[in-house]
Amino acid sequence: MKTKNTTVALLSAGLVGLLPALAAADWSDDLMMDVRFNYAITSDVGGSDQDVGDDNEIVTFNGDGIEGDSGFGFAVGKRFDDLSVSLAYETMGVTYDLSGSVQADGDVFLSGTESDFDVDTFMLEVDYTQQINESLNWTMLAGVGQTTFDFSANGTRIPAANGTTTIVGNVADNSDTSIRFGAGLGYKLSETTTLLTMVQYTNYGTAELKVGAGAALTTTSVDVEATELSVRVKFDF
């Protein structure tokens, strides 16, 4: 968490440093937009459980997280020579897998232990692009934003050895700061259109899976982060 907080502070300071250039920019030209598709290649699983000291407390988080999930989005922004600044909106419906996680009493979650929720993100991105030749370029980017984790009732499934499945969860949403780093190659389709393929690391923050209400409310926090393949079609105006 300290590492993420430091990264957010550094990215925020860098973006603040761009504000004078953004304020003085001519917003009538050098505009851009993109549409994008993101796919989680791998996902790091982790978290914490409120049920500290309880036999049901999760002491080891395992599973595939959001691996294999995908989403889409779009962005609008402006170019400053080799730099571009854009604001993106992305949405992704995920099934967070916790299979193999271990409770304090030694019980292990069976395959199919998972929670469904939506991941909606606003991300401010800065990218740096250099030409390789007339058709190809390479790009590096960094971003910081905010993610909302949108839950629905009974979105978490916990199968048991006897074949039954416990379904729990409530609709309490939460938000967290998100960060992103990426790099990739672009191929020029036309004078105004580029196909960009990237590998990016995105830490969307911590989703809070809540069960019960009032005094019986418990929260299991899970880290939502992934290495993603991002395919974008960029348009210059």
Q: What is the CATH number of the domain that holds 207?
A: 2.40.160.20
Supply the pLDDT for residue 17: 59
- Residue that the structure tokens 């934003």 belong to: 145
Three-state SS at 56: coil
The token pair that represents 148 in the structure block: 């909302």
Beta carbons of 58 and 220 less than 8 angstroms apart:
yes
50 exposure class (CB count in 10 Å sphere: 0-12, 13-18, 19+): middle
Q: Taking the alpha carbons of 223, 36, 124, 141 in that order, is the dihedral positive or negative? A: positive
Backbone torsion region of residue 49, taken as left when φ is above 0, otherwise alpha when ψ lies between -120 and 50, otherwise beta: beta
Residue 59 lies in domain: 2-236
For the whole model, what pTM was predicted? Answer: 0.87
Give bridge partners of residue 227 from the DSSP assignment: 42, 201
Domain count, the chain: 1
Query: How far is the CA of 204 from the CAs of 18, 120, 122, 164, 220, in angstroms?
Result: 23, 9, 10, 32, 16
Q: Is 118 left (phi over 0), alpha (psi -120 to 50) or beta?
A: beta
Nearest to 201 by CA among 233, 179, 186, 221: 179
pLDDT of residue 81: 86
Q: What is the pLDDT of residue 212?
A: 75
- Residue 5 has a pLDDT of 66
φ, ψ of residue 5 to 5 degrees: the values are: -60, -40
- For residue 100, the 8-state DSSP code is T
Rounded distance between C-alpha atoms, residue 121 and residue 89, angstroms: 6
Say whether 147 sits in a helix, a strand or coil. Answer: strand
What does each of the 237 residues of the chain score in pLDDT, given as a tens digit? 656 666 666 666 555 555 565 555 556 678 999 999 999 999 999 999 876 567 778 999 999 999 999 999 999 999 998 999 999 999 999 999 999 999 989 999 999 999 999 999 999 999 999 999 999 999 999 999 999 999 998 999 999 999 999 999 888 899 999 999 999 999 999 999 999 999 999 999 999 998 877 777 889 999 999 999 999 999 998
